[in-house]
Amino acid sequence: MTSTTLHTKRLDYKPRRPDIFKTSIKNLAYETKSSIKSELTIAQLQEFFPSSIQKTPIRFIRQKQVQKQAKEQTKKITTPLSELRVGVILSGGQAPGGHNVIAGLYDGLKQLNTQSILYGFLMGTEGLVKNKHIELTDTLIDRYRNTGGFNIIGSGRTKIETPAQFESALQTVQECKLNGLVVIGGDDSNTNAALLSEYFIAHECSCVVVGVPKTIDGDLKNKYIESSFGFDTATKTYSELIGNIARDASSARKYWHFIRLMGRAASHITLECALSTHPNIALISEELLNNGSSLKEIINTITQVIIDRAQNGDYFGLVLIPEGLIEFIPDIRSLITEINALLADTRIKNFTTTEKRKSFVQKNLPSKLKEVFASLPSHISTQLLQDRDPHGNIVLSQIETEKMIIEMVNVELNSRKQKNKTVSPEIPFSHVAHFFGYEGRSAFPSNFDSNYCYSLGLCACTLIYNSLSGYMATIRGLANSTKQWEAWGIPLHSMMTIETRKGAKTPVIKKALVELNDKAFRYFERNRKSWALSSDYAVPGAIQYSDDEIGNTITHTLALEFPSPSHKKTQNHTKK
């Protein structure tokens, strides 16, 4: 890779460290926090996480603090090894900051002992299973500090599921003589980390397994995890583009922009971008599901805003659409379930053309879904009949929901122009469709993500040094000044629930959806009516990396959910 001016400059950026990590890792102890309520039953814990039943959240503190505090609450360090051998895996989709987790981990290990070794497993979990790794060195790490992407060692989506895979992973860990393994990933990868931890303990392998919360989608969060890394940079990149388009729309005054945003399950990205840019409409899947909104109702709502804005002479606007939308709309959800069943019907193999398959499906759907299926634009109903991904899911990123909505709104608008005398037949509806996803996954991490991820790496190192297996490295107090950030370990099993997958009861980390009672959503809810009509857009512009107020903003979501006196500011929104 060829370096650019910013690239060179970012390599030299020194992440801000929380005060806790200004102390040597050797001088840190931890206090245990009151036990947590697991969603798992004792029987389930005994089945899946027998070694973890007693685990509680822990918070790292300085030794001096420890001595001052009541001793029964804290654990002293029993002279652990200072020379550590650790492996690291990047798992799943890219999120800005992954390289900094590795850099923080590396620096922590070398601080403990310059002879410590860090291996990077190549292309995700597959590298662990097949023992494909490289040793990470100063030279290599220094080429990736504060850069985006996962290309230092690559990433992958393989899950460790079969007994043979678990066995191979153990074998690799033993061959490499690892004291620790760090899994940087989303909900599934962290579930995997928890299961590996148990498997190693059950097989008397002392390798500590630690998870790190990664995903731009923002859906890996809970009482303890305030935000997954990458969310900050990705949403700032998307908001840059949305804000630019908003400015363009209010200059040209003739286009409606429909912007679909990455984020399969939850609408956190769309919500954060809405808070950053004030679009006329932002669809939040969780709310639509909660309200039981039909596709028809959604189309009606958008059409009405277009008509209302046209009455002010505003023939332009911005609509944000979460990628996962169609799986949340109740009638489409039912439709997909029925289509899945029909696709499994052996008779469908007799129909060779898409048109014939469509009419087979149309004929065999339950009556109330026939109309929904017929109302879809042809390219969308075609896409719904296409092959599923290996997990049996529709390949969502390939369904152009924004175009579906545009077409259906167009039909509805035309129908109202004809039928409804109060709707002027002159209202123009020119539209542009966008999809933003890959642009934000590998951006240079913002200062926030650079600092956060570096701290997560140091935290993971500290967990390993303290032989705390089955924990997620956690940094808390993120809305405060970096100095005040706290380093925690949260037992992975405490985030789990049991689901039936491929017919078997399996522990999984639940994806955190947008909560309609959360402050972030409620702020949006209070303001959207005025945003719909006012064209009161906000234009955040490109991410700045200067180490000052502009470079150190946090997301609106974090600022709203954790309001606290802080030197940090969210985007300073003031009326101009």
Q: Return residues touching a second copy (CB under 8 A).
A: 1-11, 93-94, 123, 143, 147-151, 154-155, 237, 240-241, 243-245, 247-248, 250-253, 255, 257, 276, 278, 432, 434, 438-444, 535-546, 549-550, 553, 569, 571-576
Structure tokens at 331: 């009638």
Cite the beta strand spans of 101-190 per DSSP E. Answer: 117-121, 133-135, 180-185
In the bound complex, what is the minimum distance in angstroms from residue 145's beta carbon to a second copy? 11
Tell me if residue 217 is catalytic.
Answer: yes
Out of 12, 142, 188, 217, pick the active-site residue: 217
CB of 508 to a second copy, least distance (A): 24
Is 236 in contact with 558 (CB distance < 8 Å)? no
> Strand 256-261 to strand 317-322: parallel, antiparallel, or no bridges (unpaired)?
parallel
Using DSSP, state whether 123 is helix, strand or coil: coil
Select 223 or 253, whichever has its Cβ closest to a second copy.
Answer: 253
Q: Which is nearer to a second copy, 198 or 232 (CB)?
A: 232
Residue in this structure with the two tokens 């950053």, named with its chain if needed: 276
Please name the amino acid found at residue 232: D
Strand ranges in 255-357 using DSSP code E only, listed in sequence order? 256-261, 281-282, 317-322
β-sheet with 281-282: strand ranges across: 281-282, 317-322, 256-261, 431-436
- Our CB check for a second copy shows the closer of 170 and 281 to be 281
CB of 351 to a second copy, least distance (A): 20
Q: Are 61 and 74 within 8 A, CB to CB?
A: yes
Q: Please list, in sequence order, all residues whose beta carbon lies within 8 angstroms of the beta carbon of residue 156, skipping any fewer than 6 positions away.
A: 91, 123, 124, 125, 126, 127
Pick 28 or 249: Cβ nearer a second copy: 249
CB closer to a second copy out of 285 and 535: 535
Q: Give the span between the Cα atoms of 495 and 512, in whole angstroms.
A: 10
Q: Could you tell me the smallest distance in angstroms from the CB atom of residue 381 to a second copy?
A: 16
Q: What are phi and psi of 119, to 5 degrees?
A: -100, 140
Element (H, E) at 190: helix 187-202
Q: Residue 240 and residue 541: Cα distance in Å, rounded? A: 5
Residue 195 near residue 507, CB atoms below 8 Å: yes
**In this complex, which beta carbon is closest to a second copy, that of residue 93 or of residue 218?**
93
Q: Can you tell me the distance from the alpha carbon of 125 to that of 131, in angstroms, rounded to the nearest whole number?
A: 9
Kindly tell me which of 218 and 540 has the beta carbon lying closer to a second copy.
540
Is there a contact between 553 and 517 (Cβ–Cβ < 8 Å)? no
Q: Catalytic positions, please?
A: 217
